[in-house]
A and B are shown apart, each in its own frame.
Chain A
């Protein structure tokens, strides 16, 4: 009887463990702050979204997870728009290192900012 019970318990526990695998990436408040910014663009909503992005990066690194696709690029894009070219390029380059498939696109963006086309 005791053996049966512990077996049942073990099965139940195992099912719960296998129930919800942790997501591949940590996205934090990304959707919420991006929606708020799109709905009413302002310095405040942009700052909130930028904070979301930096938080995704720091939490991902702490959890030893890869930073999700596009996050470095989006942060770099915001830096560039603010006129902070150094942080912009640093973040763009991080995106390429982490996701080589982004190279073509990110290099186009970099060139655009360097030639002053994108502003």
Chain B
């Protein structure tokens, strides 16, 4: 209809200046000129009428969808000279890094008498995570954490940059403080781990709060077709764990749980993975680091891990995962070596995107010279509320035997409730 009015206006507009001119014309030359103009205008009108008929026909054919239908993108190539980057489609631009906050609430609904957290449900840790690309091939991640064990004083849990372009294909690097890539579970933050309680082997032999170090490492994706083989080598500064227990010799001295080394230590990890089929993957890894304790003792920690995971549907999947750790301490005085080991084996099954069920067996001794250990069987039930929030129950039963200052009991039963909440954009390194 709009086209029709345009046509009327056009004809009227064209006719208006001509008619007075024609009225004043008297010479034959003028008559001929006027005839030519009229013929030309008649031809234009015919063409416009044809276009109008076509437009009206097309409009009638596609009437059901023409008014609100989005335009079909033109079949023309975008400029190939400019590589595309991920940029906001509709939001306003921002130079801020991705910011996320996570809270990890833990409660011991059932616990042995004497356990300080018995029958309590409280925030255990708050994390503020920042991450952003700072240059092509350079990404920084940092996590500031306030934990219950340090009276919620904010401290740097992680602050590092990763380099993905170091000249050689597959070669990358890391610089800064982070949770060390020692095994599968240690690099994962507590809010992202599939358990409310960290396996005993990691708590006692690596570090109760996660083994972290400050330094540099190179990782190299070995050029082996169809096999993921990543070798990581580095040197990091580690500190003794804050969690200490009294030595059994009653001298009043204390000994940190976990690795026990301080200062700069070399570390390495070889991580292999093979897709058995499009849905199943088998991963194996070995990790090692060695250093010196304040006492002059030599300390070495070696780990091996295996993970088999299979995706059954879009959301349903199962996973079998096990890790074993060997902690060796060589006494500086007697020059005798003492090795203590620990392991866990876990099976996890997620029937959909909201729920996950797990069964885990823990068996670990404490690092020398502490005696005793822990042997527990846990049932785990996780229920996801949003992408970053969930609640989880972990029911553990077994023995915890030690002569150090840990709640010691045979046949203990513990029920831990965890509520994790999170907000903001955040991604984790692959594990």
Q: Check if A and B associate.
A: no
